[in-house]
């Protein structure tokens, strides 16, 4: 039932990346089996659509090459956007004129709907808050469990321009401080902590953080506390964010941290290409995360997988694991399509990135760590990446000696292994891949297969330092370190 073409008992005969898929499907399936919430999507809507991996060197069975589109949306197992009670934010006195502050109305609406839902059949059906067409200015407000925020077409939630409307909250334990400034940090515009079954969706309504004021504070060096995210969910599970446009976040746009079962799909995420740190989506110390069918353009990574910073991340020890990122496209002139780290101290594993399309960007894929990070990045499969006008197609970089404080452990080296990078096509590039391990570390089991990188400057060669693995069908010729002196079972070559 899990996979028509690969019974769980067939694990051992599958190449490791296939095992990852089976594992992900099994995890999702067992999650659904354990939860009391009826599954919104049939199991067939989990990861079991088309076979995503490049053909192994010997021809695979025909069904594995089926090209049906697939979805990981089954990671969300909540009740969906429909709820037992619903109301419009207007009923709570909100005014959609773009000028009136509606912070109190949004907060009242969430509290009141939570109460009303409790009165209906024990509250299990939850509540839905509708935002009709209009421009709804607001400061930060919190969501609640079994809750849907629904933005109709033409609805725009606008972030307040008063910093006090983004109150300070405690730093995350895995960062030990605000990411940018010591001490507490501004809360996100839309926030939730300790929740279960939260949906933010609509007919492509918009959440606009109006982050310009915050970027200026950053540029002017007058920022007192770390900027807020546009949407942040902390320690929550069963999250679905879909069919909306997110614009102009002050800082990272969507930030699930210490969460599980998070689906982010059909999103448009926009920020000016020079807006500082406006990452699109940052799964952080989170598991069972699905990101699919998103268009993102911003001033930082389109997607960045993280898991805490130096000694704080090491001591919290919460990895980001079982993550699928598919059909993401976009541009970021100074950063990467998909980034890993640089904060990765809790570990990152079991990540599948496929059908990524990146243009006019600094990198398509970047693994970024630093001295003192500890942690690991392992069991990563990156397949079918298309890129145009990218400066460095694939980069492993050492980071910028960027630490939470001076008490990090200089001997804590990041470990990177089992990374398969396959079916990569790039044109109009500038540089060959640049792969550098952090001083003192050795990265092994890195494999490249079917890679065609065109337009690289004459004279430029692959640059590798303490990074080893295998390469098959790669142009231009990789560095000596990839001319196979060992073999990683992850790559399925042996
Ligand atoms: C990586 O995958 C292997 C199986 O190929 C598994 O044994 C190992 O536990 C995985 N590592 C992590 C950190 O998930
Ligand atoms: C929102 O949640 C945060 C974190 O749980 C909390 O610190 C804050 O006081 C809450 N804000 C409101 C308005 O309830
Ligand atoms: C996370 O949220 C759950 C409720 O869903 C709560 O019981 C638990 O204490 C929270 N954990 C932390 C570390 O805040
Ligand atoms: C949603 O709105 C954005 C911004 O206007 C637009 O670029 C995108 O194409 C729209 N998405 C859909 C599915 O209509
Ligand atoms: C930042 O500096 C510019 C130029 O000095 C100034 O016009 C602007 O008001 C400042 N912005 C903030 C938010 O302080
Ligand atoms: C930053 O702190 C200074 C001094 O306390 C204060 O004047 C200024 O308004 C603060 N800025 C923000 C954005 O909170
Ligand atoms: C979101 O968009 C998808 C694809 O356009 C559509 O199938 C789905 O019904 C939409 N969901 C909502 C809640 O509008
Ligand atoms: C590769 O990804 C692109 C999207 O970037 C998609 O259009 C194409 O169908 C994918 N190719 C395969 C073989 O799946
Ligand atoms: C190599 O990768 C490209 C891009 O995904 C794909 O179109 C092509 O079929 C692949 N070739 C082989 C031999 O797998
Ligand atoms: C490959 O060779 C390098 C240097 O020759 C060595 O450091 C590394 O450990 C070798 N890797 C394997 C997997 O044998």
What's residue 247's pLDDT?
A: 98
Averaged over 173-197, what is the pLDDT? 98
Q: What's residue 489's pLDDT?
A: 76
Is there an atom of ligand 5 within 6 Å of 216 CB?
yes
Query: Distance, CA 397 to ligand 10 centroid (Å)?
Result: 20
Mean pLDDT, range 179-193, rounded to an integer: 98
Q: How far, in Å, from the CA of 55 to the mean position of ligand 9? A: 9
- Spacing, Cα 273 to ligand 7 middle (Å): 28
Ligand 7 pocket: which residues have CB below 6 Å? 81, 201, 203, 242-243, 266
- Ligand 1 center to 19 CA (angstroms): 10
Closest CA to 377 of 399, 361, 407: 399
pLDDT category of residue 314 using cuts at 50, 70 and 90: very high
- Ligand 5 site, residue 14, Cβ cutoff 6 A: no
Looking at the CA of 217, name the nearest ligand: 5
Ramachandran bin of 146, using left for φ above 0, alpha for ψ from -120 to 50, beta for the remaining angles: left
Q: What is the mean pLDDT of the chain?
A: 88
Q: Which atom of ligand 5 is nearest to the CA of 220?
A: 1
CA separation for the pair 189, 250 (Å, rounded) = 9
* Protein residues whose CB sits closer than 6 Å to any atom of ligand 2: 107, 142, 169, 191, 193
Element (H, E) at 19: helix 16-34
Q: CATH number for 74-492: choose from 3.30.70.890, 2.160.20.10, 1.20.1740.10, 1.10.760.10.
A: 2.160.20.10
Q: Which atom of ligand 5 is nearest to the CA of 222?
A: 14
Catalytic residue list contains 428: no
Instruction: Report pLDDT digits (tens) over 446-462.
Output: 999 999 999 999 999 99
How far apart CA 82 and CA 59 sit, in angstroms, is 45
Give me the sheet containing 190-193, strands edge to edge. Answer: 141-142, 190-193, 231-234, 254-257
Q: What is the mean pLDDT of residues 391-410?
A: 95
* CB neighbourhood size of 98 (10 A): 11
Flag the least confident range among 8-17, 90-99, 223-232: 8-17
Q: Does the pLDDT at position 36 exceed 90? A: no
R_g of the chain computed on alpha carbons: 22
Q: Which residues pair with 438 in a beta bridge?
A: none
355 Cβ below 6 A of ligand 8:
yes
User: Which of 265, 160, 278 shows the shortest CA–CA distance to 219?
Assistant: 278
| Residues with Cβ within 8 Å of residue 454, at least 6 apart in sequence | 426, 427, 428, 429, 475
Using the predicted structure, report yes or no on whether residue 61 has a pLDDT greater than 60: no
3-state secondary structure of 73: helix
**Ligand 4 centre distance from Cα of residue 245 (Å):** 7
**Of 11 and 466, more confident:** 466
Nearest CA owner, ligand 5 atom 14: 217
Residue 355's pLDDT is 98
Q: pLDDT at residue 197 above 70?
A: yes
Distance 392 CA to ligand 3 centre (A): 41
pLDDT over 50 (residue 19): yes
Question: Which of 34-48, 179-193, 220-234, 282-296 bottoms out in mean pLDDT, i.e. has the lowest?
Answer: 34-48
- pLDDT number for residue 490: 83
Residues having CB within 6 Å of any atom of ligand 1: 16, 19, 349-350, 378-379
Query: Which ligand does the CA of 354 lie closest to?
Result: 8
How far apart are the C-alpha atoms of 264 and 30, rounded to whole Å? 21
The whole-number pLDDT of residue 50 equals 39
Measured between alpha carbons, how far is 487 from 68 in angstroms, rounded to an integer?
A: 32
Residue 126 CA to chain centroid, in angstroms? 27
Single out the catalytic residue among 300, 355, 370, 423. Answer: 300
pLDDT of residue 16: 53
Query: Residue 20 has what pLDDT?
Result: 56
Region 363-369: mean pLDDT is 98
- Atom number, ligand 8, closest to the C-alpha of residue 356: 5
> Which residues 6+ apart lie within 8 Å of 312 measured at CB?
173, 174, 175, 176, 177, 345, 404
- Of 149, 202, 242, the residue with max ligand 7 atoms within 8 A of its CB, to mutate for a pocket test, comes to 242
Q: Give yes or no for residue 50 CB within 6 A of ligand 8.
A: no
- Token code pair at residue 378: 């392992």
Compute the average pLDDT of residues 261-267. Answer: 98
3-state secondary structure 85-153: EEEEHHHHCCCCECCCCCHHHHHHHHHHHHHHHHCCHHHCCCEEEEECCEEEEECCEECCCCEEEEECC
pLDDT at position 25 is 54
9 pLDDT above the threshold of 50: no
311 touches 404 (CB < 8 A): yes
pLDDT over 90 percentage in the chain? 82
Atom of ligand 4 minimally distant from the CA of 266 = 13
Ligand 2: centre distance to CA 13 (Å): 49
Q: What is the mean pLDDT of residues 219-244?
A: 98
């Amino acid at each position: 039932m899990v996979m028509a073409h690969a019974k769980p008992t067939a694990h051992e005969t599958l190449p490791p990346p296939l095992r990852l898929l089976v594992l992900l499907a099994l995890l999702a399936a067992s999650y659904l089996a354990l939860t009391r919430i009826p599954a919104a999507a049939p199991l067939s809507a989990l990861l079991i659509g088309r076979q995503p991996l490049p053909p192994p060197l010997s021809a695979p069975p025909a069904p594995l090459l089926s090209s049906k589109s697939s979805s990981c949306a089954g990671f969300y197992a909540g009740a969906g956007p429909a709820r037992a009670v619903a109301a419009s934010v207007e009923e709570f006195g909100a005014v959609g004129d773009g000028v009136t502050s509606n912070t109190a109305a949004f907060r009242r609406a969430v509290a009141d709907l939570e109460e009303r839902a409790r009165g209906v059949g024990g509250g299990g059906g939850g509540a839905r808050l509708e935002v009709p067409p209009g421009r709804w200015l607001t400061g930060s407000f919190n969501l609640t469990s079994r809750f849907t925020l629904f933005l109709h077409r033409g609805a725009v939630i606008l972030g307040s321009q008063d910093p006090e409307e983004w109150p300070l909250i405690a730093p995350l334990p895995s960062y030990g401080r605000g990411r940018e400034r010591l001490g507490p940090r501004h809360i996100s515009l839309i926030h939730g902590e300790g929740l279960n079954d939260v949906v933010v969706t609509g007919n492509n309504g918009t959440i606009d953080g109006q982050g310009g004021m915050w970027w200026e504070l950053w540029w002017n060096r007058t920022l007192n506390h770390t900027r807020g995210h546009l949407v942040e969910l902390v320690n929550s599970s069963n999250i679905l964010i879909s069919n909306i446009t997110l614009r102009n976040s002050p800082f990272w746009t969507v930030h699930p941290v210490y969460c599980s079962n998070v689906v982010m799909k059909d999103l448009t995420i926009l920020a000016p290409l020079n807006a500082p740190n406006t990452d699109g989506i940052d799964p952080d110390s989170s598991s069972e995360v699905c990101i699919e069918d998103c268009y993102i353009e911003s001033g930082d990574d389109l997607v960045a997988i993280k898991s805490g910073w130096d000694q704080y991340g090491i001591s919290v020890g919460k990895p980001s694991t079982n993550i699928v990122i598919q059909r993401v496209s976009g541009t970021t002139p100074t950063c990467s399509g998909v980034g890993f780290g640089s904060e990765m101290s809790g570990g990152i594993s079991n990540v599948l990135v496929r059908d990524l399309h990146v243009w006019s960007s600094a990198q398509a894929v970047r693994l970024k760590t630093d001295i003192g990070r500890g942690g690991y990045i392992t069991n990563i499969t990156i397949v079918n990446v298309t890129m145009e006008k990218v400066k460095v197609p694939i980069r492993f970089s050492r980071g910028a000696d960027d630490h939470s404080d001076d008490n990090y452990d200089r001997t804590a080296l990041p470990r990177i292994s089992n990374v398969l990078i396959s079916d990569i096509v790039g044109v109009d590039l500038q540089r060959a891949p640049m792969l550098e391990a952090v001083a003192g570390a050795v990265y092994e089991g890195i494999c490249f297969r079917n890679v065609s990188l065109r337009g690289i400057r004459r004279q430029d060669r692959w640059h590798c330092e303490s990074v080893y693995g295998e390469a098959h069908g790669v142009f231009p010729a990789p560095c000596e370190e990839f001319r196979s002196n060992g073999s990683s079972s992850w790559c399925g070559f042996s």
